[in-house]
Amino acid sequence: MTPHAALPRRELAVLRRLFEEGQDRAELGISAASYGKIARASLASATRDLAELEGKGAMARAADGGRSTRYLLNW
């Protein structure tokens, strides 16, 4: 079993896209709105997915939260 096997398809697709766009893009992190556009998911689903990724340790919330909370990859 691979380490990412436990991730749902939508979450895995978004993470792959971040990596494919390069290190600079991956280091910017992603907001729920951006996640939703990439995954073609509602804002509510994007927020839930990001919270799940945070809970699994794949991502962490950036220090500057609020309405434009960004999630950063845990390398």
Q: What's the whole-number mean pLDDT along residues 18-22?
A: 90
Question: Which architecture characterizes domain 3-73 according to CATH?
Answer: Orthogonal Bundle (1.10)
- All structural domains of the chain with their residue ranges: 3-73
What would the two tokens of residue 34 be? 């951006």
Q: Which tens digit of pLDDT belongs to each residue from 21-74?
A: 988 888 889 999 999 999 999 999 999 999 999 999 999 999 887 778 999 998
Per DSSP, the chain holds a count of helices (H) and strands (E) of: 4, 3
Taking residue 73's Cβ as centre, other Cβ atoms within 10 Å add up to: 17
Say whether pTM exceeds 0.75: yes
User: From start to end of 1-75, where are the E strands?
Assistant: 30-31, 59-61, 70-73
